[in-house]
Chains A and B, each alone.
Chain A
């Protein structure tokens, strides 16, 4: 992790994880649960029933003021001013060179109020970049990462579990909430009423929700969700399962697929870059040039034809020539074969192309496939 994170950070749920017997891993300086029992069992639980995640390491940055929408149009690559109140948008924050500082979700909570959610390791960089970009915009940027916890319920039983804790009057809000929408909802947690921001978002490829909760209420919400979920086969799930779930869903992970050195166009995120939006935005000139030039390499999905999994940084070759590099890879628990994401030279990205991945000196056959690897039945 970065040298700046000299001290370890703990989420408000650290003791809950200890009680559940979690093993921990460092992620962006945060001590996060890697798994509680078996990461495979946790993965399957999310696909078939439900999993409960602590995502409190994610950042939360409020952007408020009369220019909030216009400001985010300038600071991010998408047109956030066009997002309706109550909706969310996945976007990127780039530097002047078009390099990706982070991928993030922005929730429009009011006409003049957005909640921007960056990744754990980038929260500080994003908050700083946003603050630097305020210029003459009438807007305030406030990093509230340290006081907000984030808990996710993911999986087909998510709605049923949430209804156990959400006030009856708000049940319809939960059931009718669209993907990438958010609303404040009344919960009852250990007998006390609690109004929390509920979003139908996630990083698993399943239906699910993310709940933003003040640190002081995080542990009681976590426990209440675990007990409410008992009848719905909810299990606590760690970052290991989160990573295998997002990989099957073909979702990029910052640090693996995305970085300051990666062009959004190479990463398949070109449609997120709103070059047609009016006005200047940070990175526009570089991104226009990137688009004009076209990609030499693109992010593709690879399906293993053997049993061996490709791993991050393994070389990809065609007829003995290196044509790419793996960014993420592991055996897919759901599909039963190895899957990987890799940057591959543009000549070899057609689905069906046979490639090799160098597994510590041994070539292992893979095939280019369309993403995502896994898509849930709707």
Chain B
């Protein structure tokens, strides 16, 4: 059973956002479990601007390719090089070492509480 961390908020497209500043963004375990083993990620560059609701990268598993949607608007301040080098971190530690990037938020997109996200997409609140 996939875990949904209760201290995070989530986009409809399965990205999680934490409460720090700049915010850290990753993919929910519901998403990474569904994708299967992640083998490649394509992330926006540091300094680039992303727009909430628009695609800003790709995540590729052995079986499929999915877009990464920006859960917030703002400037990318850091990308997780460790996850680029070892995309399996998205499977093994989606809420920890498998984070994707950090953003200086100018505007939030629509975000769901962990309760709403898990009731919609399954996964166990933790």
Contact = CB atoms under 8 A, between A and B. Distances in A.
Interface stretch (A33-41, A85-93, A114-122, A223-231): A33-41
Contacts of B63: 39, 240, 330
Contacts, number: 35
Interface in A281-323: 307-309, 311
A331 B40 contact: yes
Contacts of A23: 33
A376 interface: no
Contacts of B91: 38
Contact of B65 (A38, A240, A311): A311
A137 B33 CA distance: 53
Interface in A48-66: none
B39 interface: yes
Interface string B24-43: 00000000010011011000
A308 B59 CA distance: 11
Contacts of B62: 39-40, 240, 244, 330-331, 333
A308 B36 contact: no
A307 B39 CA distance: 9
Contact of B36 (A39, A309, A360): A39
A308 B40 contact: yes
A17 B65 CA distance: 26
Contacts of B33: 23
Listed residue (B33, B60, B91) with the most chain A CB atoms within 10 angstroms of its CB: B60
A244 B64 CA distance: 12
Interface string B59-91: 010111100000000000000000000001001
B40 A307 contact: yes
Chain A contact surface mostly? mixed
A331 B88 CA distance: 13
Interface in A214-267: 240, 244
A331 B37 CA distance: 11
Interface size class of A (residues with CB under 8 A): 10 to 19
A38 B60 contact: no
Given A38-B91, A308-B60, A309-B60, A331 B39 contact: yes
A330 B37 CA distance: 12
A23 to B, nearest CB: 8
B37 A39 contact: yes
Nearest to A40: B37
A333 to B, nearest CB: 7
Interface in B12-64: 33, 36-37, 39-40, 60, 62-64
Contacts of B88: 40
A149 B91 CA distance: 33
Contacts of B65: 309, 311, 360
A309 B59 CA distance: 11
Interface string A10-37: 0000000000000100000000001100
B92 to A, nearest CB: 9
A240 B61 CA distance: 11
B28 to A, nearest CB: 16
Contacts of A40: 37, 39, 62, 88
Contacts of A309: 39-40, 60, 65
A307 B63 CA distance: 15
A73 to B, nearest CB: 40
Contact of A240 (B36, B39, B40, B60): B36
B81 to A, nearest CB: 15
Given A309-B60, A331-B62, A333-B62, A35 B40 contact: no
Contacts of A360: 65
Nearest to B1: A21
Interface in A329-350: 330-331, 333
B121 to A, nearest CB: 15
Nearest to A331: B39
30 contacts: A23-B33, A34-B36, A35-B36, A38-B36, A38-B37, A39-B36, A39-B62, A39-B63, A40-B37, A40-B39, A40-B62, A40-B88, A240-B36, A240-B62, A240-B63, A244-B62, A307-B40, A308-B60, A309-B39, A309-B60, A309-B65, A311-B64, A330-B62, A330-B63, A331-B39, A331-B40, A331-B60, A331-B62, A333-B62, A360-B65
6 A-B pairs with least C-beta separation = A40-B37, A331-B39, A38-B37, A39-B36, A330-B62, A307-B40
Given A311-B65, A331-B40, 13 more contacts: A39-B37, A39-B62, A40-B39, A40-B62, A40-B88, A240-B36, A240-B63, A307-B40, A308-B40, A308-B60, A330-B62, A330-B63, A360-B65
